[in-house]
Every structure is written in structure tokens, then in C-alpha cells.
Structure 1
Amino acid sequence: MGSLKLGRRQFAIAASAGAAGLAFPALAQGEPIKVGVIVPLSGAAGPNGQAVLHAVTVAADMVNAAGGVMGRKLAVVAKDDESTPAVGVTRANELAAEKVAVVIEGWNSPVTLAMQPVLARADILDITAVSKADQILSGKANPYAIRINSPNGQDGAVIADILANKLSAKRIGFMTENDAYGNGAQQVIEAELKATGKPWENVVVEKFPFKQTDFRVSLTSVKQAKPDAVVAINAAESSGMPALIQQYRQAGIEGVLVGAVGTILPTVFKIAGEAMTGVVSADIYFPDLPPFNAIKANLEFIAAYRKDHNETPDKGAALGATALQVWASAANATKSLDRKTVAGAIRGKTIKGTILGDLSFEADGQAKQRYTVFKVTDGKTAKIEVLK
């Protein structure tokens, strides 16, 4: 597949730009620094991956307008992983051959996990924007891993709290994507439910592949189990998740539908519409809610994204753009493109002035995030109510 190179716009970001020697001698002074992006650009998650790519491009142009990285412009090189691990590996090898300085990747955890060893062997810094599996930060495949999105481990505690304390659910069911992301999320939620000490029972589990869109047979079993609440863990926010929600309503299931953290995106609202009413979930980014509506970098990013794409960026887009901002800030601060050096300026440190505010990272490279729990009160207008 050919590369997609995207252009420049004029927006500013707080990133210190200074002249310095280069860590990659093969790149001539003044030549653009290549930033690789590997996300699904087609198929079930295509619209979501495209939003991430658009956002990284906007962020790159903001960095360029502020002087670039060490005085050099950024050029985005995009690849479509097709939500398939084997394709992701091929794309990672292609970007390694193109000598990119960093790769921003990840919508599907299995794809991220497959690509990590390839990028590590090529000595390319790998920043995961969205994929949630806890294994991504294990250090085995990628000792310098960095992730912007919240992980399954943290999300599980949030969903368990919703089920046990906000909904007082005792009979709980699961509709789970059958891969590293879905199975890991369910496992953590169940462990956190046990940790609450409150009585609960797993009354039904239905598993499905990422690309599935017909859940009617599975939902028959769910209805027969008479759950108080059902957790839907589905990363196909442009296809499978809205289909699941619509078919859940059509099945007449009375239990509250709880979306896994980060799965109730604008693409789900656009497709599922009225069926969204009553869904409960949580997320880490809302462009127009506090604290994000008071963060200067976020407001500048939203304005730039809206100008280019005529819509408000969603959480996935914000994560992709933040990944680029974090890397550019660390590269400028260290005056280096070396993977270990730049990762060392991120892991266990705080990067100031990002779209998500001043963003701190754990020693293992995990960004520290804050959650907002909400209930959809009107699916047609995407109106939500924040739950305290």
C-alpha cells in the first residue's frame, strides 16, 4: 500500500523548539521528520481510525507552526492496519523501511500487540493512542512503551463501581469482544466486582468477534438470563457497538446496558440514535465539558479540527493528537529523536500544555487519566447527564 503524506496548517502549540544536532544522522538537516501513523482506515473501525489520523495531522501542523521539532517540519505517513494483526505487522515493517522517527498507533489491542516487537526491533518509539489491553505495557515486547488512553486495568474499577454502587446490580451479564481487549476488560471488571465485597452473580456471557454486527441470537440468551445490567465490551464503534445497542433495545431487555469505558463515541450516537437513551458508561475526554473546556491547547485543537473537518473531534481524535504533542514536546526538550532518550523524558514525567492538560505518566509509560461517569438521557441529540 502506498503512503499518505499530509500537509500543513497554521496553529500554535506550547512546544519548545530549539536547534540541535540530530540523533538520526541519515536525516539531513532541514529535511522533514517522518511521523508514522498505523490505524484502521477501512472496515469496521475505519471511521474511527480516520478521525485519529486527521487529529494527528492537525497536531503535526500545530507543531510545525510553532517551529517544528528541533527546527524541522513534521511529515505524517499513514498506513491502514485493516484491524488485522498480520496487516499491522506488514505496515510496521513498511514504516521501519521508511525510517520514521516515531509511530503513533493503535485502535485494536491485538494489532498493537502484534506490531510492538517489529517496532522495537527497528528501534522506533511506539506510542499507543487508543488500544487498551494491559499487556501493551508489560515491557516484554516494547520496553519503552507509552500509552495515552486509559487501560483495561483502570477501566475495570470504574465499571465495577458503576455496577455495584450506582446501579446496585446483582445479576450481571457480559457481551464481550473475544480478543485481548474484550476478554481482558471482562476479567478485570469481574475481579473488581469481587473486590467490592457486594453480592453479585455473572448470569450470562456472550462472546463475539470484532467484526460481528448481528447479535440477535446472543441477545436471546441474554434476555432469558434476566440481568439487572449488561456490560457491552465492543471496540467496533462504527459498526458492531451501535448494532448491538439497537438490537438490545429491539430485544426488549430490561437490564441497564453499560458500555465499556470509551466505547460510547459520536459514531455510536450517529448510528444507534434513540436506542442510546438509557445507556450508562464512562470516559476520559469530553471536548465541551470541564476541565477540557478551559484548557487552551484543547480549545485550539478543537478549532483547528473543526475548520478542517467540519465536526468536533471525539476522544479517539484527542488521544491521537495528544500522542503527537507528547512526543514532540519530549523530542524538543531532549533535542533528540533517539527512542530511549525521548521515552525517558515521558515515562514517569509530566508533559505540560497538551490537549488533555498537564499530562503525567506512570513509570511504565501509562498516562494518568480522570474519568467522568454519565448516562445518556436523549440518544437522538446525544444528550448526557453526568453521574456523581
Structure 2
Amino acid sequence: MKLAKVWVLGIAVALVGGCANNGGSTSATKNDSSGPIKIGVIVPLSGPAGPNGKDVLEAIQVQADLVNAKGGVLGRKLEVIAKDDQSTPAAGVSAATALAGEGVSVVMGGWNSPVTLAIQPVLVRAGILNITTIPQNASIIGGADPDAVRLNAGNAVGGYAAAEYIAKTLKAKTVAMLLENDAYGNDAGQYLSDQLKQAGVKIGSVQKFAYTDTDFRVPLSNIRSSKPDVVFSANAAESSGMPALAKQYAEANISAPHFAGLGTVSPKVVELAGGSKIDGLLSADIYFPEAEPFSGFADNKAFIEAYTKKSGGELPDKYRALGAQSVDIWAKAVAKAGSTDRQKVADAIHGQTFTNTILGDVTFTDAGQMRSKVYAFTVKDGKIVVKDEIPVPDSVWGK
């Protein structure tokens, strides 16, 4: 096991400015040290998750601009090149192949697990490091890409946190599930089921749906008839499916509390679902821009100031913060490694601790999973209200 090292890094190197584009010169390679360092971003820029991907891309660009304003990395500016994965594995593979041809040094982003799992082998063959921001499937870490880095809490952590709250705080005896029928939702449901069974909680009705679904009246009717104590949902479609599910759940007259999977409820979800109409919705997450302790972190404040200025006053949610965090962590690791080489940068992240990041001081497991604190929250008066921390053992972060 690697020994954790604490790095207090201020990246000081030359050149300023940065630009995002959807193309880029095909003649440049990642080994060319004469120009900007190219950061690839693969996110959905069209389709149901298009708004989400554009938000993450904007946050990545904001953070790249902040790094460039401090001098860049290794004497070079950062240039962001984005590709649309259309939320499909095939488009994701095409995007990864194109970015490899354009000479990117790293690929950030990812919105859903199937796409991330599909692009990993492409990036491994191309010798490009992948820093995953959002997807939660357990196989993303320790699977096809041994050097993968993930910032969001995985399904093992999400399942543990949900089970702890459902069993100990809500004291449920039977739990029904609404699961996205893909690598994310099925994985989330399995981890939660395993944890609940250990706590003596029974699994009741399990309903599944497609990522693109927005009508949940039939599965909600089936769940209402089963009379569970709590209903758990896993829906990663922030701009479409999840707001629709939250709203329809509130209208379905189901007496059981609704606990949504970790990271599936953002301020945008609450807004699109009708604000106070979904009061009482419960969930958990790892970042809240204006809540303590995040509001006291200098790097977080700098990111929020820059992001709100560019977005016209809109606060960044967890998804956007993780996009920015991917640039922050990678830039600091490159500065420490003295190179953009995939293996050297991966070694500078895995098993290491970084101080003064957007999410405060964070540590990565030896496998590349970022560890952070998990907090329960609820929706009250149409706003997210942070509740207590849900402690998650180190052993769970390692899964």
C-alpha cells in the first residue's frame, strides 16, 4: 500500500488564457511540448442530459481559466477540447477516439456509467489518463482501466449511506426501489440491497425504467400498492427523468418517504420538479456550495466567484464542482510529477492527499477513488437543507 503524502501545491508556471472548442488541430500530439496542454472533455452536449453536460463543460473551462490566470501548468496554458457523447456508448467511443487523435493529455467528464465503461479501453490503448467526474458504477475503478481516477462517490458509498439513513434514521422495515435499468441503476440497487439485508431490512417491489423515461405513473402505482416504509430511487437524468420522477412521486399520494440515490438531486432537479412541491424528498451528496464546511474553502470561493460571473449568477452544483475539481486535481498532480505522462500523473494521484482543493482536503484510495464526506439532506420550502453527516468507513470507499 502506498503511503499518503500531503501536498500543498500552488501551481506557478507561465502563460494565460484558455479556450474551449469542439475541434482542435489534428496535427498536434500530447507529446508536443511547444503549445498548450490539451484537456479532453467527454460529456453529453445534446439529448436529455445535454444541459447537464454543458454545465460541467462550463465549470471545467472556468477552472482551466483560473489555472491559466495563475500561470498555467509546466509553463504552458490549458486548452479545453470538448466532444459530445450523446449519452450513448457508441458516440462516447467515437469521441474518445477523436480526442486521442487530437493529442489530448487527459480526458475529463463522463455523465453516465455505460459511456464511461465503453471509453475506458480506448483511452488505455491511447495512453491517456481518464478522470471520471460523475459516473458511479463500481467497475469504473479497478476494471478495464487500472489507472482510472474517480471524483464522485461510487455506488458502494451511495448504497452504504442510503442504507444507514434508511435503516437507522427512518427505521424502515421494507424498502421498495425505482431503478434506472442500466449499469448505474442496477449497480446502485444491488449495493443498497446488500447493505439493507445486512441491517435486516426487506426489499419489496423493485420497478425498473429506461434512462430516457419521463412517465413513472405505472411503476409508482405498483409501488404504492406494495405499501413500503421507504422508497429508494436511482435516476441519473437530472434534466428530465429525475425531476419528473420527483414531481410524480409527490403527486402519487405515497405515504412512504422518498430517498433518492446519492448525487441524483441537485438544485436544478428541485427547481424543475416544482420547488416546494417536492418538499420532504431525501437524499445525500458530497458537495453544497454555500454550506459549511465548503463555504469556508478558499479554492471553492474562488471557483464560485468565477463561475457565477460567467453563468450570470447561477451557483455551481455538485456536478459542476466535480468538473472543476478534475482540472484542479490533475493540474496539481502534473505539477508534482513534472510531466503529463499518464502513468506518472496517475501515480501522483492514487493513494495521495491534496490540500486546498475546491472540496477542501481530499485523499484518494490506492485504486484512484477520491474520498470525501457524505451528508444527508432534504428539500424544505423548495430549497436543499443539509442535515447530518453520514460517516462512511474507509473500507467502503475502497470498493
Q: Do both share a fold (TM > 0.5)? A: yes
Tell me the equivalent position of 1:357. Answer: 360
Number of the residue aligned with 2:252: 251
d(CA) in 2 for partners of 1:260, 1:173: 13
Of 56, 61, 66, 1:62 maps to 66
| Per-residue Cα deviation, 1:67-114 (whole angstroms, up to 9, x for no partner) | 111010001001111111110000000000001010002110000000
What is the root-mean-square deviation of aligned Cα atoms in Å? 1.5
Equivalent position SS for 1:157: helix
After superposition, the Cα gap between the structure-2 partners of 1:116 and 1:383, relative to the gap in structure 1 and judged at 3 Å, is closer
- DSSP 3-state at the match of 1:174: strand
Residues 308-341 of structure 1: CA deviation (Å, up to 9, x unaligned): 0021000000001001110011111111010000
1:27 equivalent to 2:32? Answer yes
Distance of 1:114 and 1:309 partners within structure 2: 31
The 8 Å contact of residues 30 and 37 in structure 2, kept in 1 or not, is answered as: no
Residue in structure 2 matched with residue 146 of structure 1 by the alignment: 149
Residue 230 of structure 1 pairs with residue 231 of structure 2? yes
Paired position in structure 2 for 1:305? 307
Asked if 1:100 is matched to 2:104, the reply is yes
1:6 is aligned to: none
Matches within 5 A, 1:4-43: 15-18=10-13, 26-29=31-34, 31-43=35-47
| Structure 1 residues 53 and 270, CA gap change in structure 2 (3 angstroms) | same
Letter of the 1:76 counterpart: V
Deviation at residue 360 of structure 1 after TM alignment: 0.7
The alignment's TM-score, normalised by the length of structure 2, stands at 0.89
Q: Which residues in structure 2 correspond to 1:1-388 (within 5 Å)? A: 15-18=10-13, 26-29=31-34, 31-139=35-143, 141-196=144-199, 198=200, 200-273=201-274, 274-310=276-312, 311-379=314-382, 382-387=383-388
Work out the number of aligned pairs and report it. 366
1:115-144 per-position Cα deviation (integer Å, ceiling 9, x unaligned): 0000010000110011100000024x1111
The percent identity for this pair of structures is 49
Cα distance change, pair 119–316 in 1 and its aligned pair in 2 (3 A)? same
Cα deviation, residue 207, structure 1:
0.3
Distance 1:387 1:351, change over 3 A: closer
Distance 1:308 1:25, change over 3 A: closer
After superposing on structure 2, the runs of 4+ consecutive aligned residues of structure 1 that deviate more than 4 Å are none
Q: Whole-Å Cα distance in 1 between the matches of residues 12 and 103 of structure 2? A: 22
- Whole-angstrom CA distance in 1 between matches of 2:54 and 2:155: 23
TM-score, with structure 1 as normaliser: 0.92
Preserved CA contact (<8 Å) 2:172 2:230: yes
- 1:7-31, CA deviations, whole angstroms, 9 ceiling, x for partnerless residues? xxxxxx9632358xxxx784142x1
Equivalent position of 1:7 in the other structure: none
Alpha-carbon distance in structure 2 between the residues aligned to 1:25 and 1:176:
40
Letter in 2 for 1:187: Q
Gaps of 5+ in 2: 1-7, 15-28, 390-399
Structure 2 distance, partners of 1:106, 1:191, is 27
Deviation, 1:387, is 4.0
Describe the SS at the equivalent of 2:195.
helix
SS across alignment from 1:175: strand
CA separation of 1:97 and 1:202: change in aligned 2, threshold 3 A: same
